[in-house]
Structures are given as C-alpha cells and as structure tokens.
Amino acid sequence: MELYRLTIHELQEKLEAGTVSAADVIAALYRRIDEVEGKVHAYVTLTRELAVKQAAAADLALQRGEGGALAGVPIALKDILCTRGIRTTCGSRMLADFIPPYDAAVVERLRDAGAIFLGKTNMDEFAMGSSNETSYFGPTANPWDTDRTPGGSSGGSAAAVAADECLAALGSDTGGSIRQPAALCGVVGMKPTYGRVSRYGLIAFASSLDQIGPFTKDVEDCAIIMNVIAGHDPRESTSIPAAVPDYRQFLARGVEGWKVGIPQEYFLAGIDREVEASVRRAIAVIEGLGAQCVPITLPHTEYCLAVYYIIAPAEASSNLARYDGVKYGFRSRSGRDLLDMYKKTRSEGFGAEVKRRIMLGTYVLSSGYYDAYYKKASQVRGLIKRDFDEAFRQCDVIMTPTAPTPAFRLGEKTDDPMQMYLSDIFTISANLAGIPGLSVPCGFTSGGLPIGVQFLAGRFEEEKLFQVAAAYEKNAGLEKRRPPL
Amino acid sequence: MDYEPVIGLEIHAQLLTQTKIFCSCSAKFGGAPNHHTCPVCLGLPGVLPVLNRKVVEYAMKMALATNCRINGECRFARKNYFYPDLPKGYQISQYSQPLAERGWVDIELAAGRKRIGITRIHMEEDAGKLMHDENGPASLVDLNRTGVPLIEIVSEPDLRDPEEAVAYLKRLHETLVYLEVCDGNMEEGSFRCDANVSLRPRGQSAFGTRAELKNMNSFRNVQRALEYEIKRQGYLLEGGNQVLQETRLWDDAQGVTQSMRGKEEAHDYRYFPDPDLVPLVVSDDWIGEVGKSLPELPLAKRERFTTTYQLSAYDAGVLTSSRALADFYEETARLSGQPKIAANWVMGDLLRFLNEDKRNIKDSPITPAALAETIRLIESGTISGKMAKEIAEEMYRSGRPPQEIIAERGMVQINDETMLAGVIAEVMAKNPDQLAQYRGGRDKLFGFFVGQVMKATQGKANPQAVNDLLKKALS
C-alpha cells in the first residue's frame, strides 16, 4: 500500500515496528502532493524543508524511543493558524505576506508531540464562506469531483485529507467550517466544545463561536489528534480547565442502551433526497447496535441562521478592525492621508464576502440598532442553548445530516449568499450552543459524492461522540472508495 | 440672566501595576519605542487577552476609597474606532457593566464640606502614542503604552465652579497616590482629566447643552480652561446664541478652548461585550480582603494628626500631603517622643532641604531615627539648637547619624557648672572695663559677656546654663 494512504494509527504501527521511517512517509506524501495538487489546490503554502527536518528529528527520536504522541505523523494546518516563521495568510490578500512571530497553541502542542507540518491549507477568506471560493488564492476543488467545491471554510484541509495529501489536518469551525467540508469530502471532522481546544493563535473570525478541530481519515485518528490538542490554556480566558480523558478508550465501547435523539427540525424542507435517505440508513445502523433512536425537538432551530448572521458578523467587524494597514499586512499605496489609507487598504485588501460581513456586523452594532439586532440575537442564542440542554436530558447524543446537500458545483452559489449560508443550516446550532459535533461519512450519492452524518453531544462530552461515531463507522458496512484523481 | 455652571469630570488614572492589563509586558513609563510590547498588546492576528488580577485589585481599592459599590459581576466591552495608536481597532473597556458605581467623596471649600457623587469607576486599556514629525513624511507609532491599565472615574455633574472642580480633582489625585495605585504624574499623562461643562439659568433644574473639554494637563489648566469655557458659554447665551454639543480642546498657549469635533462627527463606538473575556466575578471575600488592605486615607489621617499630636490644621495638612511624608513624620514623632518639635523639624529644615533639591521624602538622606535622635539630644541638653541645625545640614549632606557628626566635630555641649564658672571668672578677669560699666548700669553688656563665654568655649557652652551662671556672677 502507498504510504500516503495510511491512517495515523496504521502509520504509528509501522513507525514503531521500524518498517518505515518518517522520512519515507514525507517523501511519499510530497510525491502525492506533486501528483494531485494541480487538480485539487488544497494548499496555499508547502513547508517541504521544515517537514524534512522535522521528519529527521522524528526518526531520531523514534529510534531512541523518545518519540512523542504524534512522532513522525504528517499533518496539514489550515492557514488560519499562526505558525512562527511560516506565512499565515488566512486566505486573504490582507495577510498574503504575513509571517507570524509566534505559534498558535495547537501548533505548539503538535510540534511538542513530534508531528510533521506539510504545509498550510487553503480556506475561505478569514473563514467566511462554505465553499473555499472566497480565498484570495483561488478555490480548492473537491477530490471526488474537481468541478465541485470541497465545502468550506476549511475546504483545503478536508480536500487534503480526502486526496491523501496528508494523513490528517487541522481546521477551524465557526458555523460548520470543519463538519460541512468533512461531509462533502468524505472524511471525519470534529468541532470540539467551545473552550476545549485553545484558540490562542487562531486568527479570529467570530470569537464566541470559533473552535479548532481535526480532519482525519477515520474516527480513531480523530481521537488521537484530540488527545494531543485538547486541554486548558491559560493564555485564553474562555479556555476551560477541565480534565481531558483519553478519547481512544471510548472507541470500542459501543452504544447499546443509548438513546439517540433525532431532531425533527433537521429533516424538513431543503434537504437533498439522497442525503436524507443515507442519514436514515445510518440511523437504522445505530438502532441495529442496540441504541434507541427517539424523536426530539429543538424548537428554536429556525432562528439559528438569523442569530448566527448577526452575532458572527458583529464579532467579525470588530475582530477584523486590526487589519488597517498600519502595522502589518497589506497597505494600499495610493492613500493620500490616514483616512484615505484606511479606506483603500480595507477596500483593496478584503474580498467581497468579508466586506459584506464587516458591513453587516457594523450595522447590527450601531447605536439605535444594537438592541433590535445584537442584543435580541444574544437572547435567542440563550434559547437555542436551552433547547440543547433540554434535549440532552432525553438522549445521549443527537444525530442529524451534516449538510443539506452533497458537494455543489464551483460557482453555483457564489452569486447567491443566502443559498451559500443555507449549506451550514445543520451545523450552526452547535457553535451557537458551544457543544461538540462530529461528522462521519455515511455513504455516497448515486453520482459518487460523499455524504456525512453529524453527531452532537453535550458540552465536554466529546468521548460520547467518539463512542457513537466509532461504533457507527465499524458497523456501517460502507464500501471503501477512493476519489478518482 | 444669572447662569449657573454645571461641571462633571472624567478622570483617567494609569495604574501602577508591574505588567499591562491583558499581557505580561512591563507597564513602566518610557523605554525605547515599542520595546514593552508582545504579540498580545501589538494586536497581532490570533492573540487573546488575559486579565491581570492586580488591575482589578487596584481599581477596587480606589472604588472602596471613594465609597463606590462594587458590582458582583462586571464585563469588559469593546469600544470600536480606528486610530493608529490603537492596534486592535478597538479598546477593551467597560460599558454597561462597570466594576463599581454610585460612590462619593467630600471636598473642603471655604464654605465648608461638599459631597461630590461618583457615577462609576471602570477599568480599561490605554492606547499607544503617535509621534508626529512636522517635516517628515510620516508619523511614528510607539505602542509601549498600549495596554497599560487605566481606571476611568466619572463624577456626577455636581460641581458648580472651577474651584470645586479643582478641589475634587485634587482629592481624587491625593487619594490615588495615597493608595499607591497611581503615581499621579500629570505631565507624563498618568493622571488625565476631561470635563463636561454646561450653563443653565440659576434655579432651573434641567441641564444646558454641554461641551466636553480635553487636553488639560495640569490642575492650573483645568482651572483656566473651565473659567474660559464658562465665560465663552455665558457670552453665547447672553447674546441669544446656542451652545453647541461638541468636543473642545484646551489651547494652553493661547488660553482658549477650540472646537475639535461636533456632535455629527462624534464616533459611534459600537460597544459590545468582549467575547474573548469571560464576565469578571468579584466575590464579597475578595472585596473584604482588598478593603482590609486599604491604608488610612488623607482626610482621616489629617483628623487624627490634629487630635493625637495636637497639630494645627495647617500643619496636619502639610504633613499628610503624602503618605510617605506622613509616615516619616509619625516615625520621627514616635521615636523622639516630641510630636510638636518633630513637626517643626520635618516641616522646617527637612522639607526646605528636600524642596531645594526637588527631592522626594522617600529619598531623604536623613532617616526618622536620625532626626528623632537629634531631637532627643537637644531635649537632653547634649547639644544646642544651633548645633542641631548644623548637624541636620551635615546629616542631609552625608546621610551619617548625628552621634558620628557630634563626635567628629567635638560638638558636645558643656553643661558642667564648675567648668563654666571657671570660664566666666576668666572672662570677667580679662574684661575689667566692661565689667565696671555693666555693674554701673549698662545692662546691654550682658550679651557681650555671653558672647565671650561662648567664644571661649568654641560655642559648646549650654546657653541656658551660661545665662544663669553669668547673671549670678555679674550681680
């Protein structure tokens, strides 16, 4: 088998046995990248030299028996995570040449665990988008059909894992930006509980919603990555000092006797027929494992999108104010004075979707509108949280489709922001409620496009997601397919 | 018509914490430009703020010292505006849920005491500084000050004239410095004041339209700016014109206020709760702990000094003008057992020496122990008052203890009556003419004999003893 096709746990067995070296794997992966990257465009920046050095160090450490939890494991990083000395663009012209002087907390953790960084993956500009089409560096293609989008905003990370251009990747999820592309690319993607993984060094889009999480080829790999990146960070005030269990311990426990909630609001209009059928089959699989699937209600679901598109742009309008051309990043050369420099820098440095959301956010925070929009949205957000609190009194986990449709065509929704926003309809609620969610592949459409099913759990109950997703993955009986690249 | 001014003050005080409010950079004034910075205070992409609890403690001290109620839960909010000295494009401040509210302080006026209400005290971060080169093509930004902790203290519109405003300002200044939470340096900007001023016909309860005054960096400028602005608004109203709601800058050189921006150009700061900072919970235990750590405040200390040490109100005022001076005085009074004499020495020679050198009491080369010892030596008659003055000067110059100086200079006073009687007899024998004249009625010559005795003893004779013995010998 080609080394680039390995999962993390498969690679780790080989590394431990000494039958392959990290250097071999890196070489294989860059050959694979050279072969398919022209079609996929998953990466913005490749870090070959760094990877070769890290691989050599990892091999040395492994020989000495001193390798960390991810020694020699090649990983790709969404280009929203600050990497010391490595360009971090956030998919924007504004940061096209920005080289951070510090590492994000998760990058530190991965480095310390011995992981190897292959490169920085493409994304929607400042994570605003659901198709990777707002990237200043051009869109990423879906490895299963290169005329289609990989989803977004972490589309580069999802596509890189799906196309075997890395073993795993990190992404960020503000309204579904990990889970939706995971579903559309046929990989596993998890958004942890808000506060579980440090946001320090994650370039902020919407601070109360952003969360970093892994993309992997299977559920076990997802648990392996989470074991490394989860945990308290004193540099983040919203990081929670709760103990992190060994998530791998939960993979084989099964779901017998569990109650799995099926929210009726997630199976209504707009959902693709094949997606719904596939998710219904997944529900049947879960029932076959001894869990009881019960109908539940999340009554404020219809407000999720509206609440999200007030809170996220409001926070973004403030978070993105620092890109003013004064200290770093892009500065327009034609500014006549300070105000003109600000206006031109921000007009030229940001793309259309980012500007749309900055304007939206500025508007909803304006004096005279704050109460009607931001404050009201915050109140409804409280109700949405309460919906989940009540639901989790009746069930262990909730099961829904991850996205309403399979991967759509590049350009199909770029002129219709509302249609684009609707592709996150099933994922946004978890960000608003701060709960963890995991998308796992559950089949293919007749056209050969992947479909994902989403599991949701209560705050800091990631282990339940691993338990149910691993049980499902093992028993789903899905045929093993590879993208036709 | 008779108009009544209505004044409210907004004071910004930099807190004397070691580190900044949301990162661990030094909060010290100065330093090479941009040296006290890190990714957090530079506002780099991806960084997050973590609240310095010392800032909360210092802010709470001021809140308790000004009788404010501290809220059990408060929040930080973002104040959004663009300026090159503000690297994030927003200032982290507090808005609808400040740390403390509804306080007051008393000020002393010629007409008696007046209570001034405090609306709120909140915490926020300072911005950086711009340096404009008139001839250069660009302005420079120094972000050392970015993230230095501030408290903003907002008064009720309870002040009625510039004197009251300055008295209130001085009271807050003194309190902050006493609490050792702010150095109070107005020139370096660690204590800054903005004023809201309006006029209304006397007897009317509704407020007039107000102007906000900025850029007054001394007590004197606050006084002058308010006086000017009250006159300006008075002329406008008298002339049937309206006062515009606007922000005005004090121009120190010209002695006028000038419009900076009108109501239409006022910023919409789009305040909203900062999602990066969790609500701050202040427990009663914490408030109690901070309350216990409060030092005695100036007003209470002043009252205690007048009753305990029998000092005049004026002396008590001088000696409590700073906590360090008051501590110095109390220590000297305690060690010498002579509170009134100690007050005279501290306020007299010591403050004169220090003022001449523009030195702080904290840097005084004379210690309370040394000064108290000197006082005791006078009281015991070991040295004369004149010697003590000389000793004090030497102690201030060299920092050496009095005994050492006395020993070195052989300054011990001669109290031995037999010895002095001998000297007197000698002086009388040497000056028979003067003795005859004195005995003939020229009383003025008494001083001559005293002088001769002092000369013969090189000034070491106890003047009182010389007086007594001479009177007996000459009669």
CB contact under 8 A, A317 and B47: no
The pLDDT assigned to B426 comes to 87
**Among A436, A476, A10, A480, which Cα is nearest to A255's?**
A476
Confidence of residue B466 (pLDDT cuts 50, 70, 90): confident
Share of chain A above pLDDT 90, in %: 95
What value, to the nearest 5°, has the Cα angle with vertex A476 and ends A471 and A479?
Answer: 135
CB contact under 8 A, A322 and B47: no
Nearest CA in chain A to B51: A237
- Which one of A203, A326, A331, A364 would you mutate to disrupt binding with B, by most B Cβ within 10 Å of its Cβ? A326
pLDDT tops 90 at residue A401: yes
- Which one of B129, B276, B277, B280 would you mutate to disrupt binding with A, by most A Cβ within 10 Å of its Cβ? B276
Residue among A102, A238, A321 whose CB faces B88 most closely: A321
- How far is Cα B411 from Cα B202, in angstroms, rounded to an integer? 68
**A-to-B residue pairs, Cβ atoms closer than 8 angstroms:** 99
What value, to the nearest 5°, has the Cα angle with vertex A113 and ends A107 and A115?
Answer: 65
Q: Domain-by-domain residue ranges, chain B?
A: 3-288, 296-409, 417-474
Model pTM score: 0.90
The pLDDT assigned to B267 comes to 84
DSSP 3-state assignment of B44?
A: coil
Catalytic member of A21, A92, A177, A239 = A177
* A338 C-beta neighbours (distance < 10 Å), count: 15
Which range (A38-47, A269-278, B38-47) has the least confidence?
A269-278
A208 touches chain B (CB under 8 A): yes
CB contact under 8 A, B272 and A314: yes
Nearest CA in chain A to B88: A322
- Chain A residues lying within 8 Å of B270, measured CB to CB: 317-318, 362, 365-367, 370
Mean pLDDT confidence for A436-448: 97
Q: What value does the mean pLDDT of chain A take?
A: 96
The pLDDT assigned to B135 comes to 79
Residue among B50, B141, B272 whose CB faces A237 most closely: B50
Residue among B89, B268, B271 whose CB faces A322 most closely: B89
Chain-centre distance of CA B74, in angstroms? 30
Nearest CA in chain B to A84: B39
pLDDT tops 80 at residue B411: no
Mean pLDDT confidence for A350-371: 96
Confidence of residue B380 (pLDDT cuts 50, 70, 90): confident
Residue, of B187 and B116, whose pLDDT is higher: B116
**Is position A21 annotated as part of the catalytic site?**
no
A309 touches chain B (CB under 8 A): no
CB contact under 8 A, B48 and A236: yes
The pLDDT assigned to B441 comes to 86
Q: What value does the mean pLDDT of chain B take?
A: 92
The pLDDT assigned to A58 comes to 97
Which range (A437-451, B23-37, B394-408) has the least confidence?
B394-408
A-facing residues of B in 112-141 (CB < 8 A) are 141
- How far is Cα B282 from Cα B192, in angstroms, rounded to an integer? 27
pLDDT tops 90 at residue A214: yes
Mean pLDDT confidence for A27-44: 98
The pLDDT assigned to A414 comes to 87
Contacts of A421 (CB under 8 A, 6+ apart): A130, A305, A309
CB contact under 8 A, B48 and A367: no
Share of chain B above pLDDT 90, in %: 65
Mean pLDDT confidence for B248-256: 93
Contacts of B382 (CB under 8 A, 6+ apart): B406, B412, B413
pLDDT tops 80 at residue A184: yes
Strand pairing class (B3-14; B149-155) = antiparallel
Residue A191 has phi, psi (to 5 degrees) of -105, 115
Q: How near does any CA of chain B get to the CA of A101, in Å?
A: 8
Confidence of residue B392 (pLDDT cuts 50, 70, 90): confident
- Chain A residues lying within 8 Å of B129, measured CB to CB: none
Confidence of residue B264 (pLDDT cuts 50, 70, 90): confident
- How far is Cα A456 from Cα A401, in angstroms, rounded to an integer? 11
Residue among A95, A101, A324 whose CB faces B89 most closely: A324
pLDDT tops 90 at residue A459: yes
What value, to the nearest 5°, has the Cα angle with vertex A403 and ends A400 and A409?
Answer: 160
The pLDDT assigned to B405 comes to 85
CB contact under 8 A, A203 and B45: yes
- Chain A residues lying within 8 Å of B89, measured CB to CB: 318, 320-322, 324
pLDDT tens digits for B189-213?
Answer: 999 999 999 999 999 999 999 999 9
**Among A237, A243, A157, A227, which Cα is nearest to A198's?**
A237
ipTM of the complex: 0.96
The pLDDT assigned to B283 comes to 97
CB contact under 8 A, B50 and A366: no
**Is position A153 annotated as part of the catalytic site?**
yes
HSE at residue A290, side-chain half, CA atoms within 13 A, is: 6
**Is position A344 annotated as part of the catalytic site?**
no
Confidence of residue B464 (pLDDT cuts 50, 70, 90): confident
Confidence of residue B472 (pLDDT cuts 50, 70, 90): confident
Q: How near does any CA of chain A get to the CA of B185, in Å?
A: 30
For A41, A158, A360, B237, the CA distances from A163, given in Å and listed in that order, are: 10, 9, 36, 77
CB contact under 8 A, B87 and A82: no
For A89, A251, B197, the CA distances from B246, given in Å and listed in that order, are: 42, 66, 11
Q: How near does any CA of chain B get to the CA of A88, in Å?
A: 10
Q: Which residue type occupies B468?
A: D
Confidence of residue B132 (pLDDT cuts 50, 70, 90): confident
The pLDDT assigned to B456 comes to 82
Asked whether the beta carbons of A120 and A113 are under 8 A apart, the reply is no
Confidence of residue B465 (pLDDT cuts 50, 70, 90): confident
Mean pLDDT confidence for A390-402: 97
DSSP for A83-120? BTTB---TTSGGGTT---SS--HHHHHHHHTT-EEEEE
The pLDDT assigned to A50 comes to 97
Count of residues in chain A = 485
Q: How near does any CA of chain A get to the CA of B42, in Å?
A: 9
Domains of chain A: 3-250 (3.90.1300.10)
pLDDT tens digits for B398-410?
Answer: 888 888 888 787 7
- Which one of B22, B25, B47, B265 would you mutate to disrupt binding with A, by most A Cβ within 10 Å of its Cβ? B47
CB contact under 8 A, B45 and A101: no
Confidence of residue A397 (pLDDT cuts 50, 70, 90): very high
CATH class of B417-474: mainly alpha
B261 touches chain A (CB under 8 A): no
Confidence of residue B460 (pLDDT cuts 50, 70, 90): confident
Mean pLDDT confidence for A13-25: 96
pLDDT tops 90 at residue A422: no
Q: How near does any CA of chain A get to the CA of B80, in Å?
A: 7
A-facing residues of B in 270-289 (CB < 8 A) are 270-272, 275-278
Confidence of residue A471 (pLDDT cuts 50, 70, 90): very high
**Among B131, B34, B49, which Cα is nearest to B93's?**
B49
A204 touches chain B (CB under 8 A): yes
Q: Which residue type occupies B197?
A: V
Mean pLDDT confidence for A380-385: 98
pLDDT tops 80 at residue B413: no
Catalytic member of A21, A131, A153, A172 = A153
